[in-house]
Structure 1
Amino acid sequence: MTVPQTPSAFTSPIPAVIDELWERRAELSPADTEARGLVVEAVDLLDTGAARVAFVDPATDEVVVDERAKRAILLTFKLLEMVENRFGDFHVHDKVPLKTTFDGVRVVPGAIARWGSYCAPGTILMPSFINIGGYVDSGTMIDTWATVGSCAQVGKNVHVAGGVGIGGVLEPPNAKPVVIGDDAMLFSRCIVVEGARVGKGAVVASGTILTASMPVIDVETGEEISRGHIPDYAVAVGGTRMKKFAGGEFGQPAVLVLKRLTEGERHDKAQLNDILRDSGVATG
């Protein structure tokens, strides 16, 4: 997909008829074969990577959402019927079928990707789950029992380690999904949800939880850098920030930035482990 330079220049590759169907969605049903065909064609564009739910505008560094793409996904739940399928000994009963296009992708037994998600050539799927609208770019590994939620966008050369939970954001259509930047590393069992964002080259330590409202704090200055956005090339861990309430002072969850890596610096696992261990963080 060609990414435009500015959001104002963006034109969805998905036909405008999807917007018309969305406006009268209350009256649609699986009996509307013409509408169903149009929605299937639209989601096929997501499945092949010809369209995507969201992207980062390189001129503004802002996340741009293709609302029409989200509307097409939501319309599938109105227009597709429940179908029972069997894959070996596994039985499924769902409206959304499994993905069947994996050109250049390594898919290990136990990996599940739903139709309408996209995996670029060179990605590796260990036993994991990718939901509809999810986008996984080239060179990325989705490790064992990791999940990529609906509409989540994962960049190039990312390591999504075992048990990582990348949340889905499907409704409302204009809501920004979770975005993971190129070359990021998400260590085991960390969670990124509610449209939060992990910057390019960032490292997120095991067990870290990042939500859209979570304060991200620089430990060197005590400054709150953002809410729900780990900066590029930051090494981040889960932590707490003390806050006074009527009943006393309590620790509230936060994400702490321990260090900024040099821009473009390749991750050295031993170096990262040293950074984390020096701060008393486990590196599992």
Structure 2
Amino acid sequence: MTGTLAPTATPGSRTPHRGSRIPAAVDELWERREELSPADVHARRTVIAAVNLLDRGAARVAEVDPDSDEVVVDERARRAILLSFRVLGMRASEVGPFLHHDRMPLKRRFDGVRVVPGAIARWGSHFAPGTVLMPSYTNIGAHVGSGTMVDTWATVGSCAQIGRDVHLSGGVGIGGVLEPPGAVPVVVEDDAFVGSRSIVVEGARVRTGAKIGAGALLTGSTRVFDAGSGEELPPGEAPAWSVCVSSTRLRTFPGGDFGVPCLLVIKRLAPGEAHDKLALDALFREHAAAH
């Protein structure tokens, strides 16, 4: 999950910084977006060409900068996606017996990707060769790396960035983000595992090699604690090469004491360690039994 984008535009900035792979013509269209409609042929062609870059993987909405380790957002790419809802008209389509009526077409390029019947991906999402899509849903602007499995009933939201060799287990919900300007998409880095029915939203980050147990909730503001030391870690992040489970932390409110969701790091893995799945399952069960 590395890239070479320039720093993101600051919230409210009207012109993205240099470094975007999306044509600058998108900026001009953005400034007059209220005037645009499907009747504007030039605008439609420009936006389609821009979103096609995302669809092919030639451009991305966000990447992790290898020098700063920060998630860098290409606001121009996000603008192209938002403009597509203005310049594309409603159109009927069908897949087998299923009928659809939408502005956004379904994705048609799946080079080297296994797509199991029932999987749905919108145009403007990208899957690297070697990806496996079980019956699942992936929204526009998402980018999924090679060797990753999007398992049954998992959803990958708009602009979410999923790394290589990731397993998004059954029913996982990866949140999307298109607005407001400056908002950071969810990033799940290489070699991560997200357990069944877990939810990762609001710009949260699952760092390289992290393993998250079933049913966890990770938002951009979720508090994260180390079970061994009690140390509080950066919020909204599953640390690299860690095993994490959902937990609660007691907090006092005017109305009483309540358990507030948090993420608990119960084990650290050696960088690059390929954790045996059975051992990982046993570890998750052992922790659950302790509660």
The yes-or-no answer on 1:57 pairing with 2:65 is yes
2:118 match: 110
Of residues 32, 41, 53 in structure 1, which corresponds to 2:40?
Answer: 32
Q: How does 1:242-281 map to 2 (within 5 A)?
A: 242-280=250-288
Q: 1:237 to 1:281 in 2, by over 3 A?
A: farther
Shift of 1:173: 3.3
Q: After TM superposition, which residue ranges in structure 1, 4 or more long, deviate above 6 angstroms?
A: none
Q: 1:12 to 1:144 in 2, by over 3 A?
A: same
Stretches of structure 1 that go unaligned for 5 or more consecutive residues are none
Could you tell which deviates more after superposition, 142-151 or 168-177? Answer: 168-177
Contact 2:249 2:260 in 1 (8 A): yes
- 1:239 partner SS: strand
Could you tell which deviates more after superposition, 54-63 or 264-273? Answer: 264-273
Contact 1:138 1:155 in 2 (8 A): yes
Contact 1:146 1:165 in 2 (8 A): yes
Distance in 1, matches of 2:256 and 2:94, equals: 56
Could you tell which deviates more after superposition, 271-280 or 19-28? Answer: 271-280
Q: Amino acid of the residue matched to residue 4 of structure 1?
A: T
Distance in 2, matches of 1:186 and 1:155, equals: 12
Shift of 1:227: 1.2
Distance in 1, matches of 2:52 and 2:270, equals: 39
Shift of 1:66: 0.4
Of residues 176, 188, 202 in structure 2, which corresponds to 1:194?
Answer: 202
Contact 1:5 1:58 in 2 (8 A): no
Q: How does 1:1-284 map to 2 (within 5 A)?
A: 3-4=3-4, 7=7, 11-280=19-288
- 1:46 partner SS: helix
Shift of 1:5: 7.7
Shift of 1:6: 6.3
Q: 1:120 to 1:251 in 2, by over 3 A?
A: same
Q: Amino acid of the residue matched to residue 57 of structure 1?
A: D
Distance in 1, matches of 2:91 and 2:6, equals: 41
Distance in 2, matches of 1:242 and 1:2, equals: 38
**Deviation readout 1:131-185 (Å, 9 max, x if unpaired):** 0001101000001010000000000000111110001111123210000010000
Stretches of structure 2 that go unaligned for 5 or more consecutive residues are 9-16
Shift of 1:10: 6.0
Distance in 1, matches of 2:119 and 2:275, equals: 26
Identity, in percent, stands at 61
Shift of 1:234: 1.1
Distance in 2, matches of 1:2 and 1:213, equals: 24
- 2:124 partner SS: coil
How many pairs align? Answer: 282
Q: Amino acid of the residue matched to residue 80 of structure 1?
A: L
**Deviation readout 1:180-209 (Å, 9 max, x if unpaired):** 010000111101011111010000100001
